[in-house]
Chains A and B, each alone.
Chain A
Amino acid sequence: MTQLATQDATEPARIPAPATASDEADGGAAPAVGASAAPVALRIERVHDTRATIDAAAHDERDAEAAAEPVIRIEDVHFYYSKFRAVKDVSIQFAPQKITALIGPSGCGKSTLLRTINRMNDLIPGTRVEGKVLYHGVDLYDAGVDAVEVRRRIGMVFQKPNPFPKSIYDNIAFGPRIIGAKGNMDEIVESSLRRAALWDDVKDKLKQSGLALSGGQQQRLCIARAIATSPDVILMDEPCSALDPRSTLQIEELMFELKQNYTIIIVTHNMQQAARASDYTVFLNMADDRAGFVVEEGPTLGIFTNPTNQLTEDYVSGRFG
């Protein structure tokens, strides 16, 4: 009791300090601070910083990208769990080789929407999709489209790290083996682990169980597993919610690397993460009938600094959600 009280007393005094001090050290700790109204300015500063350093090269291409054909286009999608409509009237599109964040309060259908993109919801009995989910122009819910083939092209990383109860090597090799990938399996495993920034950690213990790794390493293993089959799109369902700030930062850095080759769609509860790590942001909210709908979407910078909708502004400034 007394210990907690002491911390409470000193906390407010400590918070402003990192805002002006080393941004680098603060980057990892920031998500833990929470979403009070005060750090908004700090957060937006960081958006500028991060984007300035990492996206500098990509800046020129931006106009071209706007015209680029979206990898995935969701058209008038409604999603039902039996009779309950969880997502309504969503029409959004996802640009190639960009990170798009889906944000919104709990229960607004972000994960449900994400899982419609690789037909993961097919596994839940009684679910139904209305509308179109177009992948390079092909509706994934057309008759004759095989969900297994869909998932080979649109990989997924889950909220809780879920390595197979197999060796690290077999975790990566599982996907390539079942799709009958050509080439040297050892090389596929190594390059996947390297791209997931995990190779140096595990190169001497590839035969050990994937479950023996730390939480952050397990999640990077899951990312390596997802990219081992060379998908086109990677879906991430709150990939950092079970991780500490340091591992979270590693995953975000990894996402920046990966977006050179993949289109990434990430669901996150963490607004700082969306601000730091994404190029585009889609804000969803829950309607009165508890169905999720898109409030606003656009370039992340705009959503966080100059939202057009009052709801969005309230949410990104931490006033609700």
Chain B
Amino acid sequence: MSTIASTSTVTAARVREGLVNSRRDTLGIVFQVILLLSLLASLVILLVLLADVLSKAFPVYADRGIDFLTSPLSSNPDKAGIVQGIVGTAILALVVAAVAFPFGLMTAIYLEEYAADTRLTRFIQVNIRNLAGVPSVVYGLLGLSVFVALFQSLGMGNGRNVLAGGATLAVLVLPIVVITSIEALRAVPIAIREAGYGVGASRWEVTRQLVLPAATPGVLTGTVLALSRALGETAPLILAGAVLGSFSGLSIDRLFTGSYTALPVIVYDWSRRPQEAFRADAAAAIVALLVITLFANAIAIYFRNRYEQTW
């Protein structure tokens, strides 16, 4: 600046001299390096974990292949398989989606679109956020005292079935679904609502035909996050009656009323076993769980993108 002002004649050479970087942005570069390092740190930790699991799991799949996925639980690590865990986790995912999605979305719609903005509704919203931070084992206790007892009183065996487990996980992730749905609804511009009311639409018509379609991608993203969280939970399931150790059965007629287990429960159980061979089985079960979670995410992302394309 000052160099240009003090010179009496302006030449291209002088201007170029002034325009070329005269001052190094040292702090900026340092900051960028720190950012990159943090990214690498988290990535490296993740990669180490993944490499560890994959290297341990590889021999299991190499030796037994599909047999590991289709065999039932066993106390013999060379025969033990995870078919009950896969079926259990899949059913749990369905139950969670079927319960948490509609209840969560409807709660969010009520709070965001219908309820007046009073102290009570704000109090409820804050507490829903708090509920999302409650340790999952607490929900396990709730599942034991409410859902297991309920299904027992309904005459469904001892009540320790996959429906009780699914309902417990659904309640666990319900706050996440509600919060993300509220955010998605809130992100729909007020102008769209006004436009709808302006042509004489009722609140229901505005919500159903304008706000919900616009919020659907966000709502689905929230549901995916919630589902992934639910499928990885262990503690609530153990409390809500998932079987630790092997059991027989899983026949179709007792699918919803008989004993059940899920992949994270199997991983937990096998990691505690004294036999070294179960360690490898646990790693293999983790890989299966990861694949199932990725698959669930892929489905939800597919639906999300499809809805985004419609407008």
B-binding residues in A (CB < 8 A)? 118, 120, 123, 125, 148-149, 151-153, 155-158, 160, 162-167, 174-175, 178-179, 209, 211, 222, 225-226, 228-229
Contacts and interface: CB of A to CB of B under 8 A. Distances in A.
Given A125-B116, A209-B311, A225 B201 contact: no
B195 A152 contact: no
Nearest to B210: A164
B117 interface: yes
Contacts of B214: 165
B198 A166 contact: no
Contacts of B13: none
Interface stretch (B91-99, B176-184, B186-194, B278-286): B186-194
A179 B200 CA distance: 8
A148 B200 contact: yes
Which of B191, B192, B193: most chain A CB closer than 10 A? B191
B194 A149 contact: no
Given A158-B191, A165-B192, A118 B201 contact: no
Which of A157, A178, A209: most chain B CB closer than 10 A? A178
B200 A162 contact: no
Given A148-B200, A151-B199, A160 B117 contact: no
Contacts of B209: 174, 178
Contacts, number: 72
Given A125-B117, A162-B191, A175 B199 contact: yes
A155 B194 CA distance: 11
Nearest to A122: B197
Given A120-B197, A148-B200, A162-B192, 10 more contacts: A120-B198, A123-B193, A123-B197, A152-B199, A163-B195, A167-B311, A174-B196, A174-B199, A175-B200, A226-B199
- Nearest first, the 3 closest Cβ-Cβ pairs linking A and B are A152-B200, A175-B199, A156-B198
B86 to A, nearest CB: 40
B55 interface: no
Interface residues of B, number: 21
A160 B198 contact: no
Interface of B: 116-117, 189, 191-202, 205, 209-210, 213-214, 311
A151 B198 contact: yes
Given A164-B192, A165-B192, A174-B209, A158 B201 contact: no
Given A148-B202, A174-B209, A178-B200, A164 B195 contact: yes
A143 to B, nearest CB: 18
18 contacts: A123-B193, A123-B197, A125-B117, A148-B197, A148-B201, A148-B202, A151-B198, A151-B199, A156-B194, A157-B198, A164-B195, A165-B192, A166-B311, A174-B196, A175-B199, A175-B200, A226-B198, A226-B199
Contact of B199 (A123, A155, A166, A211): A155
Nearest to A115: B194
Contacts of A152: 199-200
B116 A120 contact: no
A174 B210 CA distance: 10
A155 to B, nearest CB: 6
A155 B214 CA distance: 23
Nearest to B117: A125
B117 to A, nearest CB: 6
B25 to A, nearest CB: 25
A167 B194 CA distance: 18
Nearest to A148: B202
A1 to B, nearest CB: 13
A266 to B, nearest CB: 15
Contacts of A162: 189, 191-192, 194-195
B199 A149 contact: no
A202 B116 CA distance: 41
Nearest to B195: A162
Nearest to A171: B195
Nearest to A163: B195
Contacts of B202: 148, 178
